[in-house]
Amino acid sequence: MAFAPDLASQVAGELALALHRAAFPVPVGVSVRHFHITEADWGTIFGSAEPMKKRGLLQPGFWAAEETVTVSGPKGKLERVRLVAPWRPKTQVEVSRSDAQVLGIDAPVRGSGKLSGAAPVTITGPAGSIEVPDALIVAQRHVHFSPADAERMKVRDGEMLRVRCGTGGPRETVFEGCLARVSDKFALEFHVDTDEANAAWLKNGDLSQLV
């Protein structure tokens, strides 16, 4: 089999890049259903109490709160959906597609904060309930990088990555279309939801590889 010199050089370049990246294992973070909220919406459903920190997350500045809400749709509801702080400019509920099917809502895959076309949903707390017309999404899988990690691994912000997970387990899987997000606020972590984690038999802290 003969390759044109340009194609051979392109294939060799892609292989070299994949091998380079694969040398840096990326910890997996499994995102369970949760919500982010504006300070105003918080007031409506929780009243005047401030959210209380339960535990810090790997991403700097983010924390899971003690407070949870009920999220409901035409077919069902999800209870004890936890707040992830800090405040956001738009209220947002992130669920798995399995969760969305329990609610009976056809929620789209979106990057966090990209709420164009997000589905309507009802959020209920101890002090009240809000109906948000564009809040429910299934999170797009994504990899967080610090600028130093991105440089070391030769990754650009916004790039679509391929990530191999679950190697050595019963459900090894290669996820295409994993969005690279680079920020000096981020730590190296591959975020998947519970459907993706269970499809590849993953738990928090398992190691994955860009390929």
Interacting residues with its own copies (CB under 8 A):
1, 8, 12, 96-98, 101, 108-109, 140-141, 170-177, 192, 194-196, 198-201
Q: How far is the CB of 4 from its own copies (least distance, A)?
A: 14
Structure-token pair, residue 120:
């309507």
Q: Length of the chain in residues, anyone?
A: 211
Q: How far is the CB of 146 from its own copies (least distance, A)?
A: 26
Q: How far is the CB of 119 from its own copies (least distance, A)?
A: 14
- Convert 94-130 to b/e letters by CB count within 10 Å (16 or more is b): bbbeebbebbebebeebebeebeebbebbbbbeeeeb
Q: How far is the CB of 1 from its own copies (least distance, A)?
A: 5
Structure-token pair, residue 61:
């500045």
Closer CB to its own copies, 74 or 168, in the complex: 168
Closer CB to its own copies, 125 or 166, in the complex: 166
Closer CB to its own copies, 141 or 144, in the complex: 141
- The SS3 assignment for 28 reads strand
Q: What is the DSSP letter of 73?
A: -
List strand residue ranges (DSSP E) for 103-172, in order. 109-110, 119-125, 128-139, 142-145, 160-165
Closer CB to its own copies, 26 or 95, in the complex: 95
Closer CB to its own copies, 24 or 201, in the complex: 201
- 66: amino acid identity, one letter: E
Q: How far is the CB of 49 from its own copies (least distance, A)?
A: 30
